[in-house]
Structure 1
Amino acid sequence: MTAAVDHVPSVILGLCSFTHDSAAALLVDGELIGFVEEERLSQEKHTRQYPRRAVEWLLGEAGLVPDDVDAVAYNFQPARYLVESPASLRLAFSAATRSRAVPRAVGFAKVALRTQRRLQSLKRRFPGARISPVLHHRSHQLAAFAASGWDDAAVLIVDSLGERQTTTIADGRCASRPAVRTVEAIHDPASLGYVYGAITEHLGWGRGDEEGTVMALAALGDPARFRHLFARAVRTTATGFVLDPGYFLPRVLSSGYPRTSRRFIEETCGERHPSESLQDVHRDLAAALQERTEQVMLHLARRARLVTGSRRLCLGGGVATNCVSVGRIIEAGIFDDVFVPPAPGDAGTAIGAAVALHTDSGSRRPVSGVARACYLGPSYPEPTLDLTPWPGLQQKVLGIEVAEFLADQLAHGMIVGLFQGRVETGPRALGNRSILASPLEAGVVERLNATVKFREPFRPFAPMVLADQAKEFFTLGQEAPYMSMASGVTDKARQHIPSIVHANGTSRLQTVTAHQNPFMHEVLRAFARRTGVPVLINTSLNIKGKPICGTPEMALNCLAGSGLDALLLEGRWITK
């Protein structure tokens, strides 16, 4: 009797492309070969372009060419947008939303057509491959659940918009392959990501880029001033939440349509120009927004616990990058364990879409290389560095005690860029493309913001700590390997390293183990031997408005154009 042949795609390319945060992932026989965001290679932050460089690197890493790709998994389904077009016409029955009904219907139809054309363009790039659109939230769900490595979990996705869905609760189960089943869904115009983006824009920062700045600003304001407004504008229900269109106008998928209403402006403040100095009203608005976001996220987490019965939670979607909200969920004790993948936003859906297609194919091969993996991009182990384009830079090759040398420089107050190993996944630098500094150095936060990162003076910096000593300084009570969770701090932290404590009494924590990042674990141990403190400041190797440095050239530009003291690039010590 002949054994059944497994007629399934063996080479699956997962793509996030043409919207924002373009990225690519490659599965070969179920194994994740790699993942990288295009911005790390193109130097264009949040690029919408087809991730050409990312795809070329992935195929080269696997020894493949485009004709070898069996299937392309894309992270949106065009037909799902069409459903919203007739549904949008219901807005015509209310005076508050009547003017948005037709433009919204037309907008969703246009995006459906545009998405279909994008699929056709992918077919032209990969004529021998099957092009498979994957529901956006399913891509998020599988990206989060597969990365957790758990056998079962509740999966909560909260973002701005995926086709029509803005919030989903799923039941995640894994036998040989990860699978998710959506239990409940909330559809646009009820969108927490939409609200946060609207206020970010209203306060003078870039929507889809600088929501983290608003989260940081929130710690300096008083939420009481606008608490009742947000309670009305974002109202919780038994199964989720709704938005009051009197404050946040329904989304129209084309430019020129404001998200906030005239009533919202009258009851809060006018739009702030980026050059305008910050006032108390701006801080208070940010504080009320953040408080309401945390309340709604807690409400959704409790709902996920109720409807799935799971004691573990995976979080994904753009709103899952709100580390303070994640910290509140952990503190509430709703779940025994909470997990956020290293790339919870849209870029990570490239992985989720590929996993979805592998799962749907019926392949008997398990998914591997996704669980607890965060260093998935290109590496440059022996770069040939020609410093001619950067006059004044000097380099020397270090010996074998690189970690000891780096720890010593940090203990003496140097601020050092670090470029080593494979590029991290997601928006946080996790010790491979980082800027490191001692939290014991006087004025280090002010110096980092003013002369290195060139960003707002109220922005905090995150600590990285040896995982087995984290409880001495932080109260989170679980590991936080991807810098995605805000933790309370202990008295010891307040006393010895106040530079890493934000105004709200929290720190966005990264715990480090020898298994996760052997080099950084060694550096932290060496720094602790010198200072008694196993904690370093860790921020991304970039300046404001630029992506994390994915290539040696980008890292050298960062050194030359900022207040960094030195750059450690694959064992080479480069100074000005």
Structure 2
Amino acid sequence: MYILGINAYHGGASACLIKDGELVGAVEEERFERVKYWAGFPVNAIKYCLTEAGISVHDVDHIGISRDPNANILRKAKHLIRRGPTSQLLLDRLRNRRVVGNISTVLCEHLNVNRRDLKASFHNVEHHRAHMASTFFVSPFENAAVLSIDGMGDFTSTMWGTGNGNKFDVSSSIHFPHSIGILYTAVSQWLGFNHYGDEGKVMGLAPYGEPHYVDKLRRILRVQADKTFEVDQTYLRYQAEGGTMSWTGGKPKIGRLYSNKFTKLFGDPRQPNETLTSYHNDIAASLQAITEEAEFALLEKLYTETGCDNLCMAGGVALNSVFNGKVLPNTDFNEIYIQPASSDAGTALGVCYYIYHQLLGFPRTYNMTHAYTGPQFSNGDVESALNRHSLEYSTLDLPVLVKDTAKLIENGNVIGWFQGRMEWGPRALGNRSIIADPRHSSTQDLLNSRIKNRESFRPFAPAVLEEHVGDYFDQSYPDPFMLKVYGVLPDKRDIIPAVTHVDGSGRLQTVTSDSSLPYYELINAFYERTGVPVLLNTSFNENEPIVCTPEEAIACFMRTKMDVLVIGNYMVKK
């Protein structure tokens, strides 16, 4: 049985395909369109998944999308009547409802097939139920508390419940307009980070400041007596204008979300090219603190209601790795699982498993232990691409390849590392990565200014052999998906300064030989040479989506100041 899951007309459009409960492929459309967070219909991602399975859409039994226009329909109607919407807003809402409610028509148009020729049943899965399914059903837990929290989807920002076996039950939700995710985006905009997805930059900025303005932000985000939260909408424009977001195709567009009342409270907004001041840093720190305050309250409520020791999280807010790293030390939960594409892209995965388990009742057999679910290329594909660019290269077997690469890293070279299947989710996890030596503080500035061309305050990630996590960090709980920030042990901060953030932390990735053998062997070879079982890892890109194909990897390598490209079994030196 084949099931195709789709996230469309939302940020991070994506597709996922499973066969009899096992994952075949999952990928974001941005990797093909080369536009970050591409929104629209993910036709290329769908075609990849079908090709990976060796089937056509006619062979698919069930197709679903992570939107349900009928979810919370009475709430939506009451809101529209109460607010007195503009004709343009009504037109936008009707157009969006028509598209997501007729996914079969849209799919057939993009794939140029006749609906009568398809055997598939079509499903609309509510946004946050897809999020919850995306994390619980692929987790290692038989039972767990499940929390989905993001900006907004199907008129809901937050949903929680309990997962048991092949089903989960929803306990409650927080609906529009109250949203931690939207508030985080609004403050990010005020700080001058206006693009979709810039919230991660603000999280990286926060350690440079102090949370002096938490009390002011509590006027906006208020934790309630029942441990839920409310957001004072007078500080935002989102409710007043019914939303200012565009998901029709290309890069998602978001209008200004903070109101004039917000600027009266915090002052004039920073312009994107304006120098960051200590005040801006303190606002970022305060935003992170108030976000954690509200999330911890929710987790306390969730643990009390469920009594589960295991926690599964999903949604865009679940990408807040600083908070994620604090969960186990500061709550009663003993285990935590977050799948690598926890943002809206991951709802395509959730749709597949919601249909397979929640609707059809099949038992669970799949646990997502790695994120390598995207396109891969043979050595023949790589060699052809290198030859087209007239590049000189060496051909090496894996044992020699990793040893030679480790020596190059030790000698200060920056490596473009391209291996196997592309990663699922926003993190490069060792198959589409830029690798460097973490032992020199100058490496961070070099990468930010000469290769990544991004803000100097943004940190880089430590990739560490799983068996050595406790030797370098204050927690040893594995994190193969780079979704948690741990403290670097004080006596190790001078050893790996390039991956130690200003507050002594690192957003780590734990690496095992089971998940990615070449990557593991590379780190291990570096460890054998230097005594340090850690490498600096960042995504293989330059202000673009992570590279997908050999051609894209070669282009990025050639236009930046990387020193060496290791792609498949081939090594190219400048």
- How far did residue 45 of structure 1 move? 1.6
Mapped to 2, the partners of 1:89 and 1:18 lie a distance apart of: 21
Residue 352 of structure 2 aligns to which amino acid in structure 1? Answer: A
1:403 aligns with 2:390: no
1:575, CA displacement in angstroms?
2.3
- Any residues of structure 2 matched to 1:128-139 within 5 Å, and which? 128=118, 129-139=120-130
Return closer, same or farther for 1:370/1:54 CA change in 2, 3 Å cut-off: farther
Counting only pairs closer than 5 Å after superposition, residues 161-560 of structure 1 correspond to structure 2 as: 161-174=152-165, 178-224=166-212, 226-237=213-224, 238-251=226-239, 252-254=242-244, 258-362=256-360, 364=362, 366-382=363-379, 383=381, 384-387=383-386, 390=389, 393-400=391-398, 401-544=400-543, 546-560=544-558
**Aligned-partner residue type, residue 54 of structure 2:** G
**CA deviation profile, 1:157-196 (whole Å, cap 9, x unmatched):** 110011011111110111xxx3211112111111011011
For residue 273 of structure 2, give the secondary structure of its aligned residue in structure 1. Answer: coil
Per-residue deviation, 1:335:
0.6
Structure 1 residues 503, 183: closer, same or farther in 2, change over 3 A? same
CA, structure 1 residues 373+500, in 2 after alignment: closer, same or farther (shift >3 Å)?
closer
Contact 1:297–1:329, Cα closer than 8 Å, also in 2: no
Q: Aligned equivalents of 1:451 and 1:110: distance in 2?
A: 44
- Give the Cα separation in 2 of the matches to 1:406 and 1:323: 30
> How far apart, CA to CA, are the structure 2 residues paired with 1:101 and 1:203?
29
Kindly state the Cα deviation for residue 368 of structure 1 after the two structures are TM-superposed: 4.0
2:150 to 159, 181, 205: 159
Paired AA for residue 116 in structure 1: G
Q: Deviations over 1:12-38 (max 9, x none)?
A: 111112222111111122221111112
Higher mean alpha-carbon deviation, 18-27 vs 478-487, is at 18-27
Give the stretch that moved more between structures: 54-63 or 355-364: 355-364
Going from structure 1 to structure 2, the CA distance change for 1:104 and 1:231 (only over 3 Å counts) comes to farther
Q: Give the counterpart letter for 1:245 in structure 2.
A: Q
Whether the 8 Å CA contact 2:65–2:103 is kept in 1: the answer is: no
SS at match of 1:223: coil
C-alpha separation in 1, matches of 2:487 and 2:255:
40
- Whole-Å separation in 2 of the counterparts to 1:442 and 1:253: 43
Give the letter aligned to residue 458 of structure 2. R
Using structure 1 for the length normalisation, give the TM-score: 0.91
RMSD across aligned positions (CA): 2.1
Deviation at 1:505, TM superposition (A): 2.2
- Residue of structure 2 equivalent to 1:120: 105
Distance change in 2, residues 1:239/1:132 (3 Å): same
- Separation in 2, partners of 1:291, 1:149: 30
Structure 2 unaligned regions, length at least 5 = 246-253
Q: Partner residue of 2:251?
A: none
CA deviations over 1:425-453 (Å, ceiling 9, x no partner): 11111111111111113400000100011
Partner in structure 1 of residue 13 of structure 2: 22
- Aligned partners of 1:18 and 1:118 also within 8 Å: no
Which moves more between the two structures, 326-335 or 550-559?
326-335
* Cα 1:547/1:404, change in 2 over 3 Å: same
How far apart, CA to CA, are the structure 1 residues paired with 2:82 and 2:506?
43
Q: 1:442 to 1:207 in 2, by over 3 A?
A: closer
Aligned equivalents of 1:18, 1:394: Cα separation in 2: 43
Does residue 1:79 correspond to 2:78, yes or no? no
Cα separation, partners in 2 of 1:283 and 1:335, compared to 1, 3 Å: same
Name the SS of the counterpart of 1:229 in structure 2: helix
Amino acid at match of 2:209: G
- Bigger drift between 46-55 and 408-417 goes to 46-55
Name the CA shift for 1:257/1:407 in 2 (closer, same or farther; >3 Å): closer
Q: Distance in 2 between matches of 1:257 and 1:499?
A: 36
In 2, Cα distance between equivalents of 1:456 and 1:495 = 23
Name which of structure 1's ranges 352-361 and 287-296 shifts more when overlaid on structure 2. Answer: 352-361
Between the aligned residues of both structures, percent identity stands at 33
The separation in 2 between residues aligned to 1:361 and 1:503, in whole angstroms, is 47
In the aligned structure 2, how far is the partner of 1:306 from the partner of 1:271? 40
1:20–1:48 Cα contact (<8 Å) kept: yes
Aligned to 1:7: none
Q: SS of the residue aligned with 1:452?
A: helix
d(CA) in 2 for partners of 1:363, 1:147: 15
For residues 49 and 105 of structure 1, the distance between their equivalents in structure 2, rounded to whole angstroms, comes to: 20
Tell me, in whole angstroms, the C-alpha distance in 1 between the residues paired with 2:102 and 2:108: 10
In 2: Cα distance, 1:253 partner to 1:434 partner: 36
Question: In the TM superposition, what is the alpha-carbon distance from 1:472 to its structure 2 partner?
Answer: 1.0
CA contact (8 A) 2:101 2:124 kept: no
Distance in 2 between the 1:119 and 1:287 partners? 45
Deviation digits for residues 112-139 of structure 1 (CA, Å, limit 9, x no counterpart): 3342254531254462122211011111
With the length of structure 2 as denominator, give the TM-score of the two structures.
0.92
Hey, what's the Cα distance between the residues in 1 that align with 2:141 and 2:78? 38
Per-residue deviation at 1:42?
Answer: 2.7
Deviations along 1:395-435, one digit per CA (max 9) or x if unpaired, are 22123421111111111111101100111111111111111
Whether contact under 8 Å (1:192, 1:293) holds in the other structure is: yes
**CA–CA distance in 1 between the matches of 2:423 and 2:468?**
24
Return the alpha-carbon distance in structure 1 between the equivalents of residues 76 and 25 of structure 2. 37
The number of aligned residues is: 554
Q: Is the 8 A contact 2:441 2:497 kept in 1?
A: no
Matched residue SS, 2:476: coil
CA distance in structure 1 between the aligned counterparts of 2:179 and 2:477, rounded to whole angstroms? 29
Would the aligned equivalents of 1:200 and 1:211 in 2 still touch at CA under 8 Å?
A: yes
> How far does residue 144 in structure 1 lie from its aligned partner after superposition?
0.7
